[in-house]
């Protein structure tokens, strides 16, 4: 509730807003004129209030009209702006449209008007909600005139392509005017997040209904229905991205009807298939093999259905320029429809948890990142943004291209999910060509090649008895799988395999004399030799697996050992040299007797850096189930016999920014100043300061006084 909501629209609203504008803007060189009287609103044919100086003229249009009723305001606003521009052609002319909240149809009309004037330096309309207007007027009024200049205020119109909803406009106002105000940032963040969560809930509801409509009208059945939902969401995203890059968005109502006519589809009503075909043939998407030849919308789908059940109802959402994750919402619908929503790791990871893990990883711009169970690839998109922000130097653009195209890798064994991940990477800039629909446990090409793994693998149990998992995978590569000894049958085969890899290693060394061309292969063969010797050393017995399932996290930790580099940074201290693993685990792996051998495996192959326990409710907002999980941060050992000397950082996050009702709550992970991330950074600094050469001095660490404590609200 703002102070404007209770005012009488006839005799108080414009007068109060005029007074606030004078306090905020007159000291910055603007004159303010109310076209009404002290007890009456402005008459028709004139803007309600006018802001002007020698260079600029801003019409201020004020209304208490809400929702669809606000549509009638648009033509008057447009006419008033064109009239003032005609009367004052040398000035740059704009509009502030102030209302309780901006209805999406009004936003879309304003957006189309702004884009139609993209080649002009002015003639733009800024919608502002009462709450946002009250906030900026209060801040501008309280500040001295030098603190915020008229150029900063006018500069808000430069972001017209992002005027897509009140939430985004508030973010623009903050970034343009108040970005150094930490208290205001927290206030805005809470307001935005609560509204954002409601939008996401509505979107998931609407996408679920769309999927049901596809079934009810027998346009698409079974899994084909959700694929059609995904394709429609991507078309909307693709077209919004085109629009942001200065091309026509062909998926608004008016432009789609025009596209339909241009493609001679007014009678056949199949323009949607023409549009999707053009998108599929985009050179970038072809190169990434994002779509197969068989990918397509259901033949029974026609333009009338698309207009009525997608274009019109979904025009209230904007995906590309907002935080609204259209593909993520489709992903959640996919999960619910396929019965996987209780398998937490297969679907959403809370955004704050993703951001925290990316920050905890302390990525470098040269890192190669892998998520072997990538979902919609949010670890990769956030990781990419983090690495891009760290690029410096004269060849920055070349480095950024390298990051986008050659340093981000993801896999998911669900073809639909892998396609969503590719789409998401495309929308976020790149990396799409490195997303595969593969089993994340079978990525042999990545062995000893990855700097950082960020992942949330399925938290339920996975079978290790698939046809694609051969005996070498189960007996040699996957050390965490339970096994037993049986009578000798294949000792000769082990001996032959040993000799085979010894010969391979010798040949590789001969070929690679004086170069390091075959170092990686030699290392691989030596690893196989060592594994064969272990089997042979067990005497007259052969190993066989027992059982058929393990928790997904246990299997993925074992796979990560192979993927991560033995040496990521040769100049680092001994326990920091290898590749980094940041993984979300079912806590049963960390504290139950059944998984003791997995914990032994972790200690043998990794240096443990941190274990952060998450509240049982952390996944409730995104999965409707409570699962006790922890984040494990570990670094691969080069020498499995080396014992860890450094202490391990432990913490528990009782709150992660979103509660079970999807409302914003405190975030113990980061951003509060007294949070887990800042405590970990303090801990790490004291650990690194406790070395004498390559020796960790425990006494020195203890003398620095790092102690347990509570994270503040």
Count of residues making up the chain: 713
Residue after which a domain boundary falls, among 180, 211, 243: 180
Q: CB of 451 within 8 A of CB of 383?
A: no
Q: Please check whether residue 472 lies inside any domain of the structure.
A: no
Give the single-character DSSP code of 40: B
Mean pLDDT of 264-289: 92
pLDDT number for residue 616: 86
- Return d(Cα 563, Cα 70) in angstroms, integer: 57
Residue 281's alpha-carbon distances to 99, 286, 287, 288, 319, in angstroms, are 43, 6, 10, 11, 22
pTM of the model: 0.77
pLDDT in tens, 7-35: 999 999 999 999 999 999 999 999 999 99
Name 610's bridge partners: 633, 649
Q: Please check whether residue 608 lies inside any domain of the structure.
A: no
Domain count, the chain: 2
Q: Please check whether residue 196 lies inside any domain of the structure.
A: no
Contacts of 283 by beta carbon, 8 Å cutoff, 6+ apart: none
Q: Please check whether residue 26 lies inside any domain of the structure.
A: yes
Residue after which a domain boundary falls, among 545, 571, 595: 545
- Return d(Cα 408, Cα 384) in angstroms, integer: 7
pLDDT number for residue 303: 97
Residue after which a domain boundary falls, among 503, 521, 545: 545
- Return d(Cα 401, Cα 385) in angstroms, integer: 12
Q: Please check whether residue 620 lies inside any domain of the structure.
A: no
Contacts of 383 by beta carbon, 8 Å cutoff, 6+ apart: 358, 361, 363, 369, 408, 452, 454
Structural domain boundaries enclosing 494: 483-545
Q: CB of 134 within 8 A of CB of 2?
A: yes
Q: Please check whether residue 705 lies inside any domain of the structure.
A: no
Identify which of 132-141, 532-541, 551-560 has the greatest average pLDDT. Answer: 551-560
Mean pLDDT (the chain, rounded): 89
Q: Please check whether residue 2 lies inside any domain of the structure.
A: no
| CATH number, domain with residue 25 | 3.40.91.50
pLDDT in tens, 543-592: 788 889 999 999 999 999 999 999 999 999 999 999 999 999 999 999 99
Q: Please check whether residue 17 lies inside any domain of the structure.
A: yes
Q: Indicate the Cα dihedral angle 74, 48, 23, 64, nearest 10°.
A: -60
Banded model confidence at residue 336, pLDDT cuts 50, 70, 90: low
Residue 198 has pLDDT above 60, yes or no: yes
């Amino acid at each position: 509730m703002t102070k404007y909501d209770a005012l009488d629209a006839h005799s108080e609203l414009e007068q109060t807003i005029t007074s606030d504008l004078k306090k905020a803007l007159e000291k910055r060189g603007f004159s303010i004129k109310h076209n009404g009287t002290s007890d009456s609103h402005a008459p028709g044919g004139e803007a309600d209030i006018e802001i002007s100086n020698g260079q600029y003229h801003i019409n201020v249009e004020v209304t208490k009209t809400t929702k669809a009723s606000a549509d009638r305001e648009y033509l008057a606003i447009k006419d008033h702006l064109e009239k003032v521009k005609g009367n004052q052609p040398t000035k740059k002319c704009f509009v502030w449209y102030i209302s309780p909240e901006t209805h999406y149809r009004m936003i879309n009309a304003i957006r189309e008007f702004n884009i139609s004037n993209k080649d002009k330096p002015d003639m733009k309309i800024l919608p502002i909600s009462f709450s946002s207007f009250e906030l900026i007027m209060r801040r501008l009024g309280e500040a001295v005139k030098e603190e915020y200049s008229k150029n900063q205020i006018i500069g808000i119109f430069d972001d017209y392509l992002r005027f897509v909803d009140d939430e985004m406009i508030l973010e623009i106002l903050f970034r343009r005017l108040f970005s150094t105000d930490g208290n205001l940032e927290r206030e805005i963040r809470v307001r935005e997040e609560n509204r954002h969560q409601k939008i996401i809930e509505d979107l998931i509801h609407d996408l679920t209904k769309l999927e049901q409509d596809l079934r009810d009208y027998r346009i698409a059945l079974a899994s084909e229905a959700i694929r059609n939902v995904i394709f429609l969401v991507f078309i909307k995203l693709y077209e919004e991205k085109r629009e942001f890059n200065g091309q026509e968005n062909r998926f608004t109502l008016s432009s789609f009807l025009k596209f339909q006519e241009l493609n001679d589809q007014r009678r056949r009503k199949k323009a949607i298939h023409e549009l999707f075909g053009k998108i599929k043939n985009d050179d970038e998407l072809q190169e990434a093999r994002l779509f197969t030849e068989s990918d397509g919308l259901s033949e029974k789908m026609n333009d009338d259905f698309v207009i009525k059940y997608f274009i019109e109802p979904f025009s209230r959402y904007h995906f590309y320029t907002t935080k609204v994750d259209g593909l993520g919402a489709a992903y959640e619908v996919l999960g619910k429809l396929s019965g996987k929503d209780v398998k937490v790791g297969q679907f959403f990871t809370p955004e704050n948890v993703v951001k925290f893990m990316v920050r905890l990883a302390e990525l470098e711009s040269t890192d190669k990142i892998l998520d072997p169970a990538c979902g919609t690839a949010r670890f990769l998109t956030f990781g990419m943004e983090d690495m891009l922000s760290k690029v410096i130097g004269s060849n920055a653009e070349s480095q950024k291209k390298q990051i986008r195209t050659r340093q981000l890798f993801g896999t998911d064994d669900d073809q639909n999910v892998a396609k969503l991940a590719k789409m998401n990477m495309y929308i976020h800039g790149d990396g799409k060509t490195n997303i595969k629909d593969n089993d994340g446990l079978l990525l042999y090409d990545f062995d000893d090649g990855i700097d950082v793994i960020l992942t949330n693998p399925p938290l339920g149990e996975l079978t290790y008895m698939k046809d694609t998992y051969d005996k070498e995978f189960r007996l040699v590569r996957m050390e965490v799988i339970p096994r037993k000894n049986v009578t000798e049958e294949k000792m000769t085969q082990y001996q032959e395999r040993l000799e085979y890899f010894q010969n391979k290693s010798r040949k590789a060394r001969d070929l690679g004399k004086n170069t390091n061309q075959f170092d990686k292969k030699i290392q691989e063969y030596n690893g196989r030799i060592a594994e064969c010797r272990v089997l042979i050393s067990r005497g007259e017995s052969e190993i066989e697996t027992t059982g058929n399932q393990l928790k997904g996290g246990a299997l993925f930790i074992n796979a990560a050992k192979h993927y991560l580099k033995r040496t990521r940074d040769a100049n680092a201290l001994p326990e920091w040299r290898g590749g980094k693993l940041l993984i979300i685990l079912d806590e049963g792996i960390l504290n139950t007797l059944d998984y003791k051998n997995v914990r032994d495996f972790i200690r043998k192959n990794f240096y443990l850096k941190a274990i952060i326990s998450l509240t049982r409710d952390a996944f409730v907002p995104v999965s409707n189930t409570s699962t006790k999980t922890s984040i494990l941060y570990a670094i691969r050992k080069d020498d499995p016999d080396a014992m860890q000397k450094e202490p391990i950082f432990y913490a528990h996050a009782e709150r992660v920014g979103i509660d079970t009702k999807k409302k914003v709550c405190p975030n113990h992970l980061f951003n509060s100043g007294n949070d887990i991330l800042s405590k970990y950074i303090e801990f790490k600094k004291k650990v690194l300061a406790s070395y004498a050469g390559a020796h960790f001095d425990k006494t020195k660490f203890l003398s620095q006084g790092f102690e347990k404590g509570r994270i503040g609200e």
